[in-house]
Amino acid sequence: MKARHSALCVEEAEEVVKELRAALAKAGISLPSLGLDPVSLAREAPCPLVELGRCSVETARRIAAAVVR
């Protein structure tokens, strides 16, 4: 049961990363290091975190502008 729950958590996190990448692309924003945090996946019962990664000042401005809309 625990393994199935962990698998569902990972699947959900992967889907959210795809959705976020697509939404950012529509706004003309790319976060190359967007993905799942490998440390959170290494736990016995993974409950992944989404790693947004680092970005340039210009990209941060574009994200802020997109969020405000």
Share the mean pLDDT of the chain: 90
DSSP 8-state code for residue 54: -
Does 30 reside within a domain?
Answer: yes
- Evaluate if residue 1 carries a pLDDT over 70: no
pLDDT of the residue at 2? 65
DSSP 8-state code for residue 46: -
pLDDT of the residue at 4? 73
Q: Would you call 68 helix, strand, or coil by DSSP?
A: helix
Which domain, by its residues, includes 52? 10-68
pLDDT of the residue at 7? 81
Does 36 reside within a domain?
Answer: yes
Total number of domains in the chain: 1
Whether this model's pTM surpasses 0.75: yes
| Residues paired with 51 in a beta bridge | 35
| CA 13 to chain centroid | 7
pLDDT digits (tens, 9 = 90+) for 24-54: 999 999 999 999 999 998 888 778 999 999 9
Does 27 reside within a domain?
Answer: yes
